[in-house]
Amino acid sequence: MSEILVLIDHADGSVDKSSLELLTAAKSAGTPVAVFVGTAEAAQQAAPTLAEYGAERVLVASDPALTEYLVAPKAELLASLVESQQPAAVFVSASPEGREVAGRAAAKTDSGIITDAVDVTPDLVATQSVFAGGYTITGKVVKGTPFIAIKPNSISAEPSQGAGSVEEISFSPSDAAKTARIVSVEEKPASGRPNLTEAAIVVSGGRGTNGDFAPVEAFADAVGAAVGASRAAVDAGWYPHANQVGQTGKTVSPQLYVAAGISGAIQHRAGMQTSKNIVAVNKDDEAPIFELADYGVVGDLFAVLPQATDAVNARR
């Protein structure tokens, strides 16, 4: 069976859920081969998980330059692996970095790329949702090696044991790729909540919070959700831009999206419209968000959310 390269995202060897989803997609279309960029120790730690989700081989590239510079070295790595391994396709996560690495590697190998796929069939037909979810497109790469960037949370990761044999590969990026150097990193304080783009539930607040996100956060914590925000809330300085959902923020596709005090502007919808279930709490019964809501409560979020939080806690 033909191999599919999967670029793994991880934090010191703990593998992102989105990468497991990629392995599952790769398994349905061929033999998953994990491409792991990081130290040998981190790779040892990750290998059992990667194997559990179907990786037959785990190719480890540990040249430090791969992580000291932005994007270009990893793109060279993928391009060189496309050359040496002749895979049937390359899957990456549709994160900003994943897209860019794949975009550059596709240009290097004169290959087509499909980004933001929400599904991939065994014969590599990808489904995309565009124009704020208004249209669904299916398409295929017809030249070169298909590069497909898959949106997190679109495919459910299924365990399926693979051999997971670890192979160190010797690869050093060229000087030309070592140009955008990461000189320093400032960690942000951890919120303790799930990662916005990977969370199964997202609870977002908008201008209707009037700057008080406490009821939004309390409900989010009761249901184990990540917290999102509309641009109006971010622009007002009430919540960090990293939490913004929408066209100029994050695209999320959780099992459940709760919009509280958010009107549902098209640019906001662009970031959440593919959520499986949408709930709206808004005091204006004509707010456009209700057009997409599977369930809506017309009311004051400062009354509805605290009561809902208590009701969730009471179920325990």
| Binding residue ranges for FAD | 207, 230-231, 244-248, 261-268, 282
If contact means CB under 5 to 8 A according to the sort of partner, which of other proteins, ligand FAD, none does residue 233 touch? ligand FAD
Identify residues 181-220 at the interface with other proteins (CB under 8 A): 181-188, 190, 195-197, 201
Measured CA to CA in angstroms, residue 222 lies from 202, 226, 299 at distances of: 12, 11, 20
Half-sphere exposure of 96 (CA within 13 A, CB side): 6
Verify binding: residue 122, other proteins, rule CB under 8 A. no
Point out which span in 26-34, 83-91, 151-159, 270-278 binds other proteins (CB under 8 A): 270-278
Contacts with other proteins by CB under 8 A: the residue count is 90
| Residue 69 near residue 3 (C-beta atoms within 8 A) | no
Both structure tokens of 12:
């010191």
Verify binding: residue 231, ligand FAD, rule CB under 6 A. yes
Give me the least distance between CB of 295 and ligand FAD, in Å please. 15
Both structure tokens of 154:
């679109």
Half-sphere exposure of 116 (CA within 13 A, CB side): 17
For the chain, first and last CA: distance in Å?
47
Both structure tokens of 316:
């325990």
Verify binding: residue 144, other proteins, rule CB under 8 A. yes
Give me the least distance between CB of 240 and ligand FAD, in Å please. 13
Verify binding: residue 279, other proteins, rule CB under 8 A. yes
Measured between alpha carbons, how far is 216 from 239 in angstroms, rounded to an integer?
Answer: 11
If contact means CB under 5 to 8 A according to the sort of partner, which of ligand FAD, other proteins, none does residue 121 touch? none
If contact means CB under 5 to 8 A according to the sort of partner, which of other proteins, ligand FAD, none does residue 71 touch? other proteins
Identify residues 263-282 at the interface with ligand FAD (CB under 6 A): 263, 265, 267-268, 271, 281-282
From 72, 233, 279, 293, residue interacting with ligand FAD (rule: CB under 6 A)? 233
From 158, 179, 214, 284, residue interacting with other proteins (rule: CB under 8 A)? 179
Both structure tokens of 89:
């396709």
Which residue in this structure is represented by tokens 């790595």? Answer: 77
Show the CA angle centred on residue 149, arms to residues 148 and 150, nearest 5°: 110
Measured between alpha carbons, how far is 75 from 96 in angstroms, rounded to an integer?
Answer: 13
Measured CA to CA in angstroms, residue 132 lies from 79, 162, 202, 270, 280 at distances of: 32, 37, 18, 4, 18
If contact means CB under 5 to 8 A according to the sort of partner, which of other proteins, ligand FAD, none does residue 236 touch? none
From the number of C-beta atoms within 10 Å of its C-beta (0-12, 13-18, 19+), residue 186 rates as exposed
Give me the least distance between CB of 14 and ligand FAD, in Å please. 29
Give me the least distance between CB of 305 and ligand FAD, in Å please. 9
161 or 307: CB nearest other proteins: 307
54 or 296: CB nearest other proteins: 296
Residue numbers at the binding site for ligand FAD (CB under 6 A):
206-208, 230-233, 244-249, 261-263, 265, 267-268, 271, 281-284, 287, 300-302
